[in-house]
Amino acid sequence: MWWSTLGCLVMLILSLLAAPRIAETQQPAKKVYRMGVLSGASSSRVDLRHEAFLQELRTLGYVEGKNILIEYRYAEGQFERLPDLAADLVHLNVDVIVVAGTRTTAAAKQVTSTIPIVVRSAGDLVGAGLVASLAKPGGNITGSTDISPDTSGKRLEFLREAVSQASRVAVLWSRSPGDLDELRELETVAVSLGVTIQPIEVRDPQEFQSAYAAMTQQHAQAVIMTLSDFTGFHRRQLLELAAQHQLPSMCEPAEWTRDGCLMSYGPDLTALWRRAATYVDKILKGAKPADLPVEQPTTFKLAINLKTAQALGLTIPPTLLFQADEVIK
pLDDT tens profile 264-300: 999 999 999 999 999 999 999 999 999 999 999 999 9
- Nearest 5°: phi and psi at 294? -75, 130
Secondary structure of residue 81 in the 3-state scheme:
helix
Distance CA 304, CA 9 (A): 79
Asked whether residue 211 falls in the same domain as residue 169, the answer is yes
Window from 56-60, 128-132, 174-178, 235-239 with minimum mean pLDDT? 174-178
Cβ neighbour number for residue 83 with a 10 Å cutoff: 17
Gap between the terminal Cα atoms of the chain: 90
The torsion angle over the Cα atoms of residues 219, 197, 258 and 80, rounded to 10 degrees, is -110
- For position 46, what pLDDT does the model report? 67
Please indicate, yes or no, whether residues 307 and 187 belong to a single structural domain of this protein: yes
What local confidence, expressed as pLDDT, does residue 175 receive? 80
Mean pLDDT of 165-178: 89
- For residue 319, the enclosing domain spans 151-266+300-328
pLDDT tens for residues 32-44? 999 999 999 988 7
The percentage of residues in the chain with a pLDDT greater than 70, rounded to a whole number, is 90
Q: Which band of pLDDT confidence, cut at 50, 70 and 90, is reported for residue 149?
A: confident
Burial class (CB in 10 A: 0-12, 13-18, 19+), 247: buried
262 and 281 in a single domain? The answer is no
Q: What is the mean pLDDT of the chain?
A: 91
User: What single DSSP character describes residue 14?
Assistant: H
| 174 & 252 share domain | yes
| Residue 28 within a domain | no
H or E segment and range at residue 230: helix 229-233
Q: How confident is the model at residue 1 (pLDDT cuts 50, 70, 90)?
A: very low
Residue at 123 is within a domain: yes
Judge if 182 and 309 occupy the same domain. Answer: yes
Cα separation, 43 vs 41, whole angstroms: 7
> What's the rounded Cα separation, in Å, for the pair 326 and 329?
10
Q: Does residue 216 carry a pLDDT above 80?
A: yes
pLDDT band at 17 (very low <50, low <70, confident <90, very high): low
Q: pLDDT tens for residues 90-120?
A: 999 999 999 999 999 999 999 999 999 999 9
Predicted pLDDT at 181? 83
Q: How many CA atoms lie less than 13 Å away from 183 in the CB half-sphere?
A: 16
The answer to whether 228 and 123 have CB atoms below 8 angstroms apart is yes
Q: Does 310 lie in the same domain as 185?
A: yes
**Residue 155 belongs to a domain:** yes
184 and 77: one domain?
no
Q: 177 and 200 in one domain?
A: yes
Residue 2: what pLDDT?
Answer: 44
Residue 181, domain CATH: 3.40.50.2300
- In 29-59, which positions are buried (b, 16+ CB within 10 angstroms) versus exposed (e)? eeeebebbbbbbbeeeeeeebbebbbebbee
Angstrom distance (rounded) from CA 243 to CA 227: 18
Question: Do residues 305 and 156 both lie within one domain?
Answer: yes
Structure confidence at residue 11 (pLDDT): 53
| DSSP element (H, E) containing 304 | strand 300-305
Q: How many residues does the chain have?
A: 329
- pLDDT tens-place string over residues 220-246: 999 999 998 899 999 999 999 999 999
**Same domain? 99 vs 232:** no
Q: How many domains does the chain have?
A: 2
Task: Mark whether 317 and 194 lie in a shared domain.
Answer: yes
Q: Which amino acid is at 254?
A: A
**Cross-strand partners of 222:** 169
pLDDT value, residue 15: 55
Q: Indicate whether 173 and 138 sit together in one domain.
A: no
